[in-house]
Chains A and B, each alone.
Chain A
Amino acid sequence: MAPRTLYQKIWDSHLVETDDAGTGLIYIDRHLVHEVTSPQAFEGLRLAGRQPWRVDANLAVPDHNVPTTDRAAGISDPISRAQIEALQSNTREFGITLFDMDDVRQGIVHVIGPEQGATLPGMTVVCGDSHTSTHGAFGALAFGIGTSEVEHTLATQCLWQKPSKTMRVTVDGAVAPGITAKDIALAIIGRIGTAGGTGYVIEYAGEAIRNLSMEGRMSLCNMTIEAGARAGMVAVDQTTIDYIKGRPYAPSEAQWAQAVACWSELHSDEGAQFDAEVVIDGADIQPQVTWGTSPEMVIAVDQAIPDPAGQDDEVRAAGMRRALEYMGLDAGTPISAVNVDKVFIGSCTNSRIEDLRDAARIAQGRKVASNIRVAMVVPGSGLVKQQAEEEGLDQIFLDAGFEWREPGCSMCLAMNADRLEPGERCASTSNRNFEGRQGQGGRTHLVSPAMAAAAAVFGHFTDIRGL
């Protein structure tokens, strides 16, 4: 057999059939469900008198709307509450497992899947959420879908898909100390652009990727959608297998050896052809900060905000001018001279235990700067929160003046009460700096957890390498 990419292998092992137009019917192993993109899908099933094809493939959790303050009071916003109640009644009606708000396993859907071992190598994983790309860290094919496809997955356990092109992004050599997966992801997006991966599935390779923990690989694959690619993947290695062992949904003892043998094939073969190749030198990557309203508008922490006047492409220059105006910034200003008002540490990109440890290391023994109105830490799940508390991280944050919250999507997209006010500037570990993403008129700068914590304690963007 000709050498195959990892993507091709998973495609082949899930291909039910191909239609005349060359579209494949792909079997879906895992379907993750949350409250925002599922109600209309369940309603569609009901209207058509259909049942889920395979109930045990689904796992549901409320995350986008949940309050991150005291849960005992319930949800004060009646519309948010109704959406979560709809998830509760829909999962009850159709027999789907739900990690409800009072369950310690509740959290952001892309945190809890891997945490539970519900995301496994070689799987096809979908969810009505673009950051489903996160799960590709396990050598899985994972991508976000819309609500019609949520309904299609529920009803048929399959999706019609065109084969994607493949791109390999190789980060050669090791990265410098303090450089995280988030910096790698932003540097890649800065290089290829937010549409650079459109139509592709990206496989990440190279020494810097192999050196990443599973949590780092999740952060990297998570951000793949911000490069335009629906899915990002990392080949399975011992790091992957060690992470999965013993998790609740992982294969049983009896099946473990067989599963590991199967997973050991989940890498691109020597000589496999990719449709595009990008190579980045890991040593060149510095702490990244976005300055604009698209993740591709990104610079290193020691750089100045770029000038649209230097651009040849008029559409691009107009976009930059618009972004500068929205962000309230001037070209030429060093990004380290920019003060922030709020700090958000959390989201499906950066809310896992290693992220919180990175941030706590910077916060320890320091105080949140006086110009910071709120600095909040929102763990990715109840279990992450529990572990952080066992390690004393909550106390480090609280002593420094951060708020310690309950798990959820929170201010990444501001569907709950956590949001920016118009004009407020935020150092955020989330994934999107779009206009209004964290609240209408809010100004978002994407950074790593350590960089966000540094912005909190110094009041402006600060190079963590000097700390």
Chain B
Amino acid sequence: MDRSNVDTDAIIPKQYLKSIRRSGFGPFLFDDWRYLDAGDLDTPVESRRLNPDFELNDARYAGASVLLARKNFGCGSSREHAVWALENYGIRCVMAPSFADIFFNNCFKNGVLPIVLEEKVIDALFEEVRDGAQLTIDLPAQTISTPSGQNIAFDIDAGLKARLVQGLDDIGLTLERADVIRAFENKHRQSQPWLFAE
């Protein structure tokens, strides 16, 4: 997706945020760009014409699970629905020179890997995959292999990586620290009692 500042409104427009479910957003990913007709939760997607000029509708990229993007991907609204839509569509990894912070965090909560690469590396990848290509991402080894035989290393925070690889329950893990949290809370309540209603 060769454009900067792709925002979460573009990834999943507001009318789909009325759903109270966590699934089913894939058909509405990039909705305004992907379809020629307007849509909403009540309109069957089969009845809508696809925009032939949109990247994801290009036969070369059919079934893509890696999204190659430009800087500041995922900016704007904090809606986690954006990541739910990507994940539900089948995108497992997004590569960009930079991501907006909230979107970046939301990815890890949903098993989507955001990879930050230098702009010139992204430029080269855009060239290499222009006609469609298979990239192999090895998360434990932190490498991307390209058809031309390149091996690109990427950085990832150790804690976030462990969470993705092991698929850990964040809340369950934090609740194992309940005693520490409670001790902190008691101290906090003593020093700033106005923060607590009771």
Contacts and interface: CB of A to CB of B under 8 A. Distances in A.
Contact of A158 (B17, B80, B174, B194): B174
B100 interface: yes
A436 B9 contact: yes
Interface in A195-232: 195, 198-199, 225, 228-230
B45 interface: no
A96 to B, nearest CB: 12
Interface stretch (B57-65, B87-95, B138-146, B175-183): B175-183
B9 A19 contact: no
A130 B101 CA distance: 10
A228 B100 contact: yes
Contacts of A13: 188
A195 B102 contact: no
Interface stretch (B48-56, B71-79, B129-137, B147-155): B71-79
Contact of B181 (A157, A255, A259): A157
Contacts of A239: none
A415 B15 contact: yes
Interface in A23-46: 23, 25, 27, 29, 36-37, 39-40, 43-44
Contacts of B14: 413-415, 437
B3 interface: yes
Interface of A: 13-14, 16-17, 19-21, 23, 25, 27, 29, 36-37, 39-40, 43-44, 48, 50, 53-54, 56, 64-65, 77, 79-80, 82-83, 86, 120, 122-123, 128-130, 132, 143-149, 151-152, 155-158, 160, 162, 194-195, 198-199, 225, 228-230, 250-252, 255, 258-259, 262, 294, 315-316, 318-319, 322, 413-415, 432, 434-437, 440
B66 interface: no
16 contacts: A14-B188, A16-B180, A23-B157, A25-B174, A36-B18, A36-B79, A40-B21, A77-B18, A147-B81, A148-B106, A149-B109, A152-B170, A155-B175, A229-B101, A230-B102, A437-B9
A262 to B, nearest CB: 6
Contacts of A17: 177, 180, 184
B20 to A, nearest CB: 4
A143 B76 CA distance: 13
Contacts of B78: 37, 128-130, 132, 144-146
Contact of A149 (B105, B188, B198): B105
Given A148-B106, A155-B171, A21 B157 contact: yes
Given A143-B102, A434-B7, 18 more contacts: A17-B180, A27-B188, A40-B21, A64-B17, A80-B18, A129-B78, A130-B77, A146-B105, A152-B174, A198-B72, A229-B101, A251-B194, A315-B3, A322-B3, A413-B14, A435-B10, A437-B9, A440-B32
Interface string B163-198: 000000011101101101100110010011111111
Contacts of B41: 79
A179 B183 CA distance: 48
Contact of A21 (B17, B158, B171, B177): B158
B159 interface: yes
A195 B105 contact: no
A6 to B, nearest CB: 16
Interface in B101-133: 101-102, 105-106, 109-110
A17 B178 CA distance: 12
Interface in B19-58: 19-22, 32, 38, 41-42
A129 B180 CA distance: 28
Contact of A195 (B75, B81, B171, B178): B75
Counting from the closest, the 7 A-B pairs by CB-CB distance are A21-B159, A251-B194, A146-B80, A148-B109, A56-B197, A39-B20, A146-B106
Contacts of A413: 9, 14, 77
Nearest to A87: B20
A23 B101 contact: no
B83 interface: yes
- Which of B42, B79, B188 counts the most chain A CB atoms within 10 A? B79
Contacts of B5: 194-195, 294, 319
A179 to B, nearest CB: 26
B102 A120 contact: no
Contact of A146 (B7, B13, B79, B171): B79
Contacts of A23: 157, 159
B184 A16 contact: yes
Given A17-B180, A36-B17, A318-B3, A195 B98 contact: yes
A414 B109 CA distance: 27
B7 A145 contact: no
A157 B178 CA distance: 10
Given A83-B20, A198-B98, A259-B194, A432 B180 contact: no
B80 A147 contact: yes
A39 B84 CA distance: 14
A140 B109 CA distance: 26
A162 B18 contact: no
